[in-house]
Amino acid sequence: MSTIEAEKPRTEVSPLLKLILELGPLMVFFFANSRGDWLASRFPVLAELGGPIFIATGLFMAATAAALIASWIMTRTLPIMPLVSGIVVFVFGALTLWLQNDTFIKMKPTIVNTLFGAILLGGLLFGKSLLGYVFHAAFKLDEEGWRKLTIRWGVFFLFLAVLNEIVWRSFSTDFWVAFKVWGTMPITILFTVAQMPLIMKHSLEQESAE
């Protein structure tokens, strides 16, 4: 695949708004878990969900749904990653609340990251670089660039899956929740920035300019 072409024009949201839509549900999850008892005292209906982690899970599901709806209203499309992640949130969140077992919501990042890692690396086995479709890439790379970038992201997703398993199995629930917001996101941002030299090197637009 040499380029990623959009099938039809999409209304793009600003980077700041996109960041809010992506981080908003996580911030709600973090706040609700840390202030779960306070929320339960102010809104007794939330106490029916269980302890802080279960209140956080319920509000996380609601915030995720709100973010997806807002994205659809503004762009009339749903990006693949938030959509798949949202579906897993709803399924594993429902299991968490129904069975009163927080193991399910803790495994959600493992499932999502393993799924994306397997899809990206598996696609390469069939000669397909699916990264552009997953991220709705706004840039164009040559075939070698897409292959290298896909391998890197595929391995990175699997790394995040393993990291999540280590954290939730080895530390407290509060630590795991905090790590989702203040650990995973910075790691992902740093990894993304680190890919810029590769993107610039294999950019078709740069080659055209030369």
- Per-residue pLDDT, averaged over 127-149, amounts to 79
Q: What share of the chain is helix, strand, coil (3-state, %, to 5)?
A: 80, 0, 20
- C-beta of residue 65 within 8 angstroms of C-beta of residue 16: no
pLDDT of residue 5: 39
pLDDT of residue 7: 42
Residue 8 pLDDT class (50, 70, 90 cuts): very low
- Per-residue pLDDT, averaged over 11-15, amounts to 65
Residue 42 pLDDT class (50, 70, 90 cuts): very high
Q: How far apart are CA 34 and CA 139, in angstroms?
A: 39
Residue 23 pLDDT class (50, 70, 90 cuts): confident
Burial of 108 (0-12, 13-18, 19+ CB in 10 A): buried
| Interval 59-95: pLDDT, tens | 999 999 999 999 899 888 888 888 999 999 999 999 9
Best mean pLDDT range from 8-12, 18-22, 84-88, 206-210:
84-88
pLDDT of residue 32: 96
- Per-residue pLDDT, averaged over 153-167, amounts to 98
Q: How far apart are CA 199 and CA 194, in angstroms?
A: 10
Q: How far apart are CA 31 and CA 14, in angstroms?
A: 25
As a three-state string, the secondary structure of 39-94 is: HHHHCHHHHCCCCHHHHHHHHHHHHHHHHHHHHHHHHCCCCHHHHHHHHHHHHHHH
| Interval 102-132: pLDDT, tens | 999 999 999 999 999 999 999 998 888 888 7
Of 122, 140, 120, nearest in space to 130 by CA? 120
- Per-residue pLDDT, averaged over 24-31, amounts to 94
Q: Domains of the chain: which residue ranges?
A: 15-209
Residue 6 pLDDT class (50, 70, 90 cuts): very low
- Report which residue type is found at 177: V
Q: How far apart are CA 139 and CA 205, in angstroms?
A: 8
| Interval 182-197: pLDDT, tens | 999 999 999 999 999 9
Q: Is 176 a residue whose pLDDT tops 70?
A: yes
